[in-house]
Amino acid sequence: MSVLRCRALSRSFGALKAVSEVDLVVEPGARHALIGPNGAGKSTLFKLVTGTMRPDTGHVELAGQDVTTLSEVKRCRLGMSQTLQHSSLFASMTALETVELAVQRHEKGRIAFLPRKQPVVGERAGKLLADVGLIRRREVPVPSLSHGERKQLEVALALACRPSLLLLDEPAAGLSPAERARLVELLGGLPSEITVLFVEHDLDLVFALADAVTVLHLGRVLLSGPPAQVRASDAVREAYLGSSRREELWA
């Protein structure tokens, strides 16, 4: 059974059809990339999947269950987890304390505020920080982490709820080449029980990581298939570069 299936998803803003009749299937264990030129509808489709936004028509299924009308929070409980830029909300909290918070939410439900800490929570949070390569930075207040380290932390926070499907919205945005390489290593090393769907602009990163690619163009699926097929597609090249041919530009 597919981990995620979108059936004929559509969402308009006034006259603009941002997402139009999109079918998307994400298979278990996939590293599935969602790409497309600016304005292709990637962000809107992503929001429809996470539950931040509701579709006008169509359905979203998570492991066979229809979650179209469920909130972000409920989808999260069913195993869908996304990285959010929420890691630096509490300026005085350290990396470890922030991950502990996410662990508590998932494992215990209730948040036990400091200083009543539970050793089990601390242990799991430490393990997650080690997994994303931040263990040495655990005592650093989150706002003082570098941009790349904050991205690593966001992955740890998303993993805290033991997701079966991890959703990443432009994970490499604003990263330096070295930070980018570290992120590829981190995401590439995730266990195969975790399926990953990610939106990304950087095609080098897409081809380094993805084993399935869906290309959106003008709100529709242009092509869905293995990276090699996408690389070889004239339609994809045209969508990215525009229909005017190079020689016409210089005529």
Partner 1 sequence: MTFLQVRGLVSGYDRSTVLNAVDLDLDSGATLGLLGRNGAGKSTLVLTLAGLVSPTSGSVTVGGVELAGKRPDQIARAGVALVPQGRRVWATLTVGEHLTLAAGRRTGTWTVDGILDLLPRLRERRRQYAGQLSGGEQQMLAVARALLTNPRLVLLDEPSDGLAPAIVEQIGAVITTMRAEGVAVLLVEQDLHLAFACADEIAVMEKGALVHRVPTPQFRRDPETAGRLLGVS
Write out 62-125 in H/E/C secondary structure: ECCEECCCCCHHHHHHCCEEECCCCCCCCCCCEHHHHHHHHHHHHHCCCCCCCCCCCHHHHHHH
Site for partner 1 in 91-150 (CB under 8 A): 91-93, 101, 105, 111, 113-114, 141, 143-144
Q: Which is nearer to partner 1, 62 or 213 (CB)?
A: 62
* DSSP code, position 56: S
CB of 157 to partner 1, least distance (A): 9
Q: Which is nearer to partner 1, 77 or 245 (CB)?
A: 77
| Cα(114)–Cα(116) distance, integer angstroms | 5
Per-residue buried b or exposed e for 227-247, using 16+ beta carbons within 10 Å of the residue's own CB: beebeebeebeebeeeeeeee
* Residues 61 and 79 sit within 8 Å (Cβ to Cβ): no
CB of 243 to partner 1, least distance (A): 30
Site for partner 1 in 55-74 (CB under 8 A): 71-73
CB of 29 to partner 1, least distance (A): 25
CB of 87 to partner 1, least distance (A): 9
Site for partner 1 in 201-220 (CB under 8 A): none
- Give which of 3, 150, 2 is closest to 83, Cα–Cα: 150
Site for partner 1 in 154-183 (CB under 8 A): 161
CB of 69 to partner 1, least distance (A): 13
Query: Which residues of the shown chain bind partner 1 in the complex (CB under 8 A)?
Result: 71-73, 76, 84-86, 88-93, 101, 105, 111, 113-114, 141, 143-144, 161
